[in-house]
Amino acid sequence: GQQVMQIPQYQHVQEGEDFTTYCNSSTTLSNIQWYKQRPGGHPVFLIQLVKSGEVKKQKRLTFQFGEAKKNSSLHITATQTTDVGTYFCAGGGFKTIFGAGTRLFVKA
Amino acid sequence: NAGVTQTPKFRILKIGQSMTLQCTQDMNHNYMYWYRQDPGMGLKLIYYSVGAGITDKGEVPNGYNVSRSTTEDFPLRLELAAPSQTSVYFCASSGTGRGVNTEAFFGQGTRLTVV
């Protein structure tokens, strides 16, 4: 079945450092979504990418969708303590499959 | 606007007991999902539904059943609870736009412990 793999599993950064998480699918995706989950909370939607090669920005966050629509990345510039949480990618259309997530720790 | 509402928030079950996790959404979304999240892990899809009367298995359906008699409600049934079903359960819903599913809205989660 379809799999969505995400790396790294954990990332510890110093506040102000950059952070990137990568998402890879075994099959071509119709779209990719990114979510953030704060500790003890529920996943909250960040963005959706649909087009091949698409790049979108939200302030310090940059999202990319690969040309083959099989991979994606989320890059955070100059992390802040408020960025702490787990970042998930999700793909697969109506049968939305989540990656395992990357847990981000930010040290002040 | 309530969004996605799950009940209960917490529950402790004994091995072999059964229960139903309730989920309702007021956004008229066609797609609804049940996920489970084990401690420190990602979300695993249990069941999903693309509309009233239509359900299908996800990645980890064993030990669970669902029904979708209305657009709003998507209950998850646990029969013969086992310790391996100790987890946090999230219900979610999403709409459609331009032929793809749109963002998923999640409920607050149900924290289930089986002892």
Tell me the per-residue pLDDT of A41-89, one tens digit each, with 9 for 90 and over: 999 999 999 999 999 999 999 999 999 999 999 999 999 999 999 999 9
Residue B43: is its pLDDT beyond 90?
Answer: yes
CA distance A91 to chain B (A): 10
Nearest CA in chain B to A87: B42
Mutate to test the interface with A, among B101, B102, B105, B110 (most CBs of A within 10 A): B101
CA distance A74 to A19: 8
d(Cα A83, Cα B77) in Å, to the nearest integer? Answer: 35
| A45 contact residues in B (CB cutoff 8 A) | 103-105
Contact present, B26 and B107 (Cβ < 8 Å)? no
Percent of chain B with pLDDT over 90: 86
C-beta of residue A29 within 8 angstroms of C-beta of residue A92: yes
- Note the helical H segments in A5-108: none
